[in-house]
Each structure stands twice: as C-alpha cells, then as structure tokens.
Amino acid sequence: MRNSRDTQLLCELSRPGRRAARLPACDVPERDIADLLPTEATASSPPALPEVTEPQIVRHFVNLSTMNMSVDTHFYPLGSCTMKYNPKRNERAAAMPGFADLHPCQPEETIQGMLALLYEMQEYFQEISGLPACSLQPAAGAHGELTALLVAAAYFKDLGENRSKVLVPDNAHGTNPASAAMAGYRSITVKTTSDGFVDMADLASKLDDEVAVMMITNPSTLGLFEPHMREIADQVHARGGLIYLDGANMNAILGITRPGDWGADMQHYNPHKTFSGPHGGGGPGAGPICVIEKLAPYLPTPIVRKEDSLYALDFNLPKTIGRVRSFFGNVGVLVRAYAYIRTHGPDGLREVSENAVLNANYLLSRVKHILPVPQGNRCMHEFVASANTLKKDKGITAMDIAKRLLDYGFHAPTVYFPLTVPEAMMCEPTESESKETLDAFAEVLFRITEEDAELLHDAPHSTAVSRPDEVRAARQPVLTWAALSEAN
C-alpha cells in the first residue's frame, strides 16, 4: 500500500545537516585543496544536493516504485515493445562481479571469459539473422539504425557512388526517418496499401539510383509479414541499394525465418525486447547490428575475434566508420541476452516465437469482435485494432480505452501508432502470458466498450493521477524543482 507522504520531492524531504553516506577518513597525508588546485577552478561549496537520510531514501523510492505498472506486476501489452517476462537469472548473471566489475580497458588476458561470451553473442546474432558479420557496439535500437546507415554510407562512398535517399514505409517507427536524417540522408516515405503492405507501385515510382537504403520493418508494425519481401529486396538490389531490417519484431520469427535469407543486408536487434533484457523504465537497451559480408569492413571497432582458443579485440578495420560510443557496448544487456539464448537453445527460441504468435492470434480472435482489426484475421506477434468506429458511434477514443484499462489493472496497448491506422491500439501480448490473462483482457475490453462514454473520458478513476494536462506541461515547462519554486 502506497504512502504518499514519503513521495514528496527529495528537495522537500531535505533538511540541512541530514546525511546518508559516511566516507572513510583520508588515509594519505592530506593537503589543503587550495594547494592542490587553482582557486579559479574550484568551487567554494558543493552543489546543493538534497540532504536526506538513508531510511528516507529507501521509503521515498520504494513508495515511488509502487506508482508504476510493470511486467512483474501487470499485463503490459504495449505493442512494438515486447514486454515479456524478464528472467531473474539474467539479473543474477549480469551482476556477477566477474562481469560487472570489469574495466573496459583491461588487458585481453584478464577478460578471456568476457570476450568468449561476447564472441558467442556475435555468432548467435549472426546465426539468428542469417547475416555473417556483427557489431555489438550500438547502445539501442535507434543507435543500431544510425550505425548501420553510417556503414551503408561508408560503403557507397568507397564505391564512389553518391546516393542521398533512404526509403521508409509510412508505418515505420519514427526512429527510422530520424536515423536517416541523422546519417545525412533524405528520408523518402513509401506508402503502404490498405492491407498494410508496401505499395509496390509507389515503391517503383520512388526507387532510383539515388536510393542508398530501404528500411523495412518485417514483420511490420501492423504485425504482418510482408508478402512482397523478396521482390522488394530484389528491386532495391537491382538499383544498387541496400535493405535495412528494423529488428524490433524479431520475437515473431526466431528460428522460423531469417532476414538474411530474404535479402536484408543489415539489421539491428533489440535484446531488451526479443532476448528479455528488462526495459528499465526506458532503458538501457542495446542495439547490436548484423550485416552482409561486403559491409563487414565498415563496421565499428572493436570486433571480437577468436584465434585458436584465445579471444582478442580487433581494432584493425581500415575502412571502419569508427565509433558510435565509448568502449565496447552495452555489455550488461548482452550478458542478459546471452543467458536468455543459452537457457532456450534453438528449440526454445522457436517455441518463444510460436507462443508469441499463438498468443497474439488468440487475443486477436477475441478482440476483433469487440474492436475492428482493419488488417485482417491473422497476425504475427502483434496486431493493431482500431477504435475508429467506436469513436464515430459513441465518441469513445483509443485513449479513453487505454486509460480505462488501467482501472482494470491492465497496462494499455500502444495507442495512435502506427499513424496509418486511425485510433490505433497496438497489442503485443508476448509469449509469457497465459490464456487466462488474455481472456480476462478481452473481457475487460468488451466491458469497457459497453461503458458510458463520460465515464471513459474521465478515466482512469482508480489511479493517484488522472489525465495530466500535457498542454500546460509543454507550454509552461517545469522541468526541475528549481523551476518549481520560480513558478510558485
């Protein structure tokens, strides 16, 4: 049960003279700071951090934690985010001192076990994607997109080709066009048909010799496998372009089909989604990428190599794009993904996808009688329902339903994405949910659609907070507690 007194801001809990940490006495001969540092560089007093005790800190943050929904407490069918169960064995693995307490610049002979694990991860990612080279460096999915686009740019520069465009379907994640722009490309939108597939005529009209890369999400954000995938890849390749696969939806196809086998030249993974590293309230994730052989020379360095039974870091890629961050990569996330892959094996990973797709189709079969699912009767790991009819008939929006679901103890699906479906509600149950949970969710969804519109407009009713004023937040931004005292 939450206690709201201790969830006041830390600055409100602060009293001068309180403290939590005691540091050891200085055991070396101590000198006056003024003798060690130039006075113009030093601060006369430390930053005005709050002064609180350790019991206060614990009560404050534990109470705050109870104000979240999470995978460990609730069904969290947030489409595109793959909110699956986060195994506790993964957490224990990443916390082992033999991994957690390694400095990134240690000599290779002191990190052979770490490098062995990372080498295996490169191999596993390559095998699962069907792409023969891997960089573990990118820190997140979008970072992987950017990295791969920079790899593509270096490749074309090396060929002496000046290509300026990246094609992105209109139902892609916003990160795709944003990554293209950051990599120096012009992002060109390709339409999708009402079925949710790439519009082949529109693609043909936009595909020219200036296209460097086509980014595609497959299965798509609508949870559909692109039927023209091979054809799209062939056409892009015929014009000298490359295919980038947004790997956000790999949870649908593990061991069933591989992007490298349908013409993808590059892809990223989201290990925090597909391979169960937790989402951490928004991160950290990781964004390793795999590429075809001819792009391998351009990958960021270092790459882990195995020579005889020894592992080494290879910095010697003369054509590398360089670095996209410091040090090796988000290793802690990769250790968790390693634990996940090793405890599943090839059959277990396939079963993950089978159950994810079974659960999604089952939920779809229950939901489509309540809310239309414009793009069909079947799906892969997720589907997009639409509240558009309900909005027209009763004035109930996707947002109303999302908020009301919270009252019934369910996290909301992703709403208003993709933009191609009006009043979109994107549901991804994942494999780690039971039929009972899916039944209960469908029943609640049905009950909500029968409820009074006014009740829904004001939902949620049971949470401590309801319908924050987002316009005010954006127009009169209060982003720190210092700004708070200015505002008052």
Partner 1 sequence: MPYHYNTPEDKQAMLSAIGAESVDVLFDSIPAELKLGRRLDLPPALSELELDQHLRELASRNTPAGEAVCFLGAGSYDHFIPAVVDTIGSRSEFYTSYTPYQAEASQGNLQVMFEYQSLITELTGLDVSNASLYDGASAAAEAVLMAISATGRHGKVIVPESLHPEYRATIATYLENLATEVVTIPTSGGVVDPEILSEAVDEETAAVVLQQPNFFGCVEDAAEVNRITKKAGALLIAVFDPMSLGVLKRPGDYGANIAVAEGHTLGSPMAYGGPYLGIMACEKSLVRRMPGRIAGQTVDRRGNTCFVLTMQTREQHIRREKATSNVCTNQGLFALRATVYLAQLGPQGLRETASLCLQKSRYAAEQLCQHERFSLAFEEPTFKEFVIRDRENRVDDLLKSALDRGYLAGLPLGRWYPELADCFLVAVTEKRTKAEIDGLVSTLTKASERVSVPATV
Site for partner 1 in 64-123 (CB under 8 A): 64-74, 76, 78, 81, 83-87, 89, 91-94, 96-107, 109-114, 116-117
Is 479 among the residues that bind partner 1 (CB under 8 A)? yes
Q: What does the alpha-carbon distance between residue 407 and residue 15 come to, in Å, rounded to a whole number? A: 37
> Residue 364 CB, nearest distance to partner 1 (Å)?
8
Among 295, 329, 398, 444, binds partner 1 (CB under 8 A): 329
Give CA separation, 196 vs 178, 227, 287, in Å.
22, 10, 26
Nearest to 290 by CA among 247, 338, 234, 339: 247
Q: Could you tell me the two tokens for 50?
A: 């709050």
> Residue 372 CB, nearest distance to partner 1 (Å)?
17
- Reduce the DSSP state of residue 281 to 3 states and report it: coil
DSSP, residue by residue, 189-201: EE-B-TTSSB-HH
Considering only residues 293 through 312, tell me which ones interact with partner 1, judged by CB under 8 A: 300
Name the residue nearer to partner 1 (CB basis): 29 or 450. 29
Name the residue nearer to partner 1 (CB basis): 202 or 324. 324
Q: What does the alpha-carbon distance between residue 133 and residue 135 come to, in Å, rounded to a whole number? A: 7
Candidates 139-147, 200-208, 383-391, 420-428 — which segment interacts with partner 1 by CB under 8 A? 139-147
Q: Which helix (H) or strand (E) holds 213?
A: strand 211-217
Name the residue nearer to partner 1 (CB basis): 363 or 390. 363
Is 222 among the residues that bind partner 1 (CB under 8 A)? no
Q: Which residue has the tokens 């992007």?
A: 259
Among 317, 358, 453, 455, binds partner 1 (CB under 8 A): 358
Considering only residues 403 through 442, tell me which ones interact with partner 1, judged by CB under 8 A: 403, 406, 411-412, 414, 417, 431-435
> Residue 201 CB, nearest distance to partner 1 (Å)?
21
Beta bridge partners of 385: 425
Among 198, 266, 286, 401, binds partner 1 (CB under 8 A): 286
Instruction: Answer yes or no: are the C-beta atoms of 183 and 149 closer than 8 Å.
Output: yes
Cis peptide before 97 (omega within 30 of 0): no
Among 160, 194, 307, 474, binds partner 1 (CB under 8 A): 474
Among 308, 326, 450, 452, binds partner 1 (CB under 8 A): 326
> Residue 97 CB, nearest distance to partner 1 (Å)?
5
Residue 4: CB partners within 8 Å, gap ≥ 6? 63, 464
Calculate ∠ Cα 351-334-261, nearest 5°: 50
Beta bridge partners of 305: 312
Q: Which residue has the tokens 């001068």?
A: 16
Nearest to 126 by CA among 363, 345, 343, 292: 292
Candidates 50-58, 202-210, 385-393, 444-452 — which segment interacts with partner 1 by CB under 8 A? 50-58
> Residue 402 CB, nearest distance to partner 1 (Å)?
7
Per-residue binding string, partner 1, 178-217, x by CB under 8 A, is xxxxxxxx-x------------------------------
Distance of CA 200 to the CA centre of its chain: 29
Q: Which residue has the tokens 């008939």?
A: 393
Q: Could you tell me the two tokens for 282?
A: 């928004």
> Residue 289 CB, nearest distance to partner 1 (Å)?
14
Candidates 198-206, 236-244, 288-296, 335-343 — which segment interacts with partner 1 by CB under 8 A? 335-343
In the chain, the N- to C-terminal Cα span, in Å, equals: 31
> Residue 183 CB, nearest distance to partner 1 (Å)?
6
Nearest to 299 by CA among 329, 316, 322: 322
Backbone torsion region of residue 64, taken as left when φ is above 0, otherwise alpha when ψ lies between -120 and 50, otherwise beta? alpha
Per-residue binding string, partner 1, 255-284, x by CB under 8 A, is xxxx--xx-------------x-xxxxxxx
Number of residues counted as binding partner 1 (CB under 8 A): 203
> Residue 186 CB, nearest distance to partner 1 (Å)?
8
Is 47 among the residues that bind partner 1 (CB under 8 A)? yes
Candidates 225-233, 236-244, 289-297, 448-456 — which segment interacts with partner 1 by CB under 8 A? 225-233
